[in-house]
A and B are shown apart, each in its own frame.
Chain A
């Protein structure tokens, strides 16, 4: 569920996070073909890199970043998320990316820190 709160200083900015994540994906697997030997490193790099960039933004959130990469071979892939949280402060965004040989789906969940 994507939550976008316009105008509030400390709400999760889904658009900004999407842009950050897209850049991470592009930077790591942008020009590459699906490679079974490398894909574990790619998913790990994408989640770590995305997390680092999100934390750098300095907002008061805990983050969960989830990445799935699937080879393009005609198989169906369906994903769903459900969240029990504070809908006023917490939020998420999902980025879907593809190239000729693979799909990549990254979800970011941001939970406000109250302190």
Chain B
């Protein structure tokens, strides 16, 4: 379930999406699916995305999840469900593809109460 809040102190979904897209593009933009490399790619994407998100706002705990799938006709379906504070927490999902693979990255931001 994607939650989009337009308030100042809330999770900025658009900014997070842009950060994530840049990460994916820089890690895998020109690459073709390679079984030997894909583990490194997913790890790099989640680490870089997390670093960028923390730079944008430290008032959240973050969870970044990334799935990369080879394009060969198989179906892939994902769903998320969250039990949290809908006024303060938020998420966004970025879907990306190139000629040989799909990439789905989800970001979940849980507000820190302090």
Contacts and interface: CB of A to CB of B under 8 A. Distances in A.
Given A73-B73, A76-B70, A65 B50 contact: no
Interface size bracket, A side: 35 or more
Contacts, number: 148
Interface size class on chain B is: 35 or more
Contact of B72 (A46, A50, A51, A73): A73
Given A62-B110, A63-B82, A80 B69 contact: no
Given A79-B42, A81-B64, A64 B74 contact: no
Interface of B: 33, 35, 38-39, 41-43, 45-47, 49-50, 53-54, 61-85, 89, 91, 106, 108, 110, 113-114
Contacts of B39: 78, 80
Contact of B85 (A34, A55, A62): A62
A107 interface: yes
27 contacts: A40-B77, A42-B77, A43-B78, A47-B81, A62-B110, A63-B82, A63-B83, A65-B81, A66-B80, A68-B67, A71-B76, A73-B72, A75-B73, A77-B76, A78-B39, A78-B42, A80-B39, A81-B46, A81-B63, A82-B43, A82-B46, A82-B47, A84-B50, A85-B62, A85-B110, A111-B84, A111-B110
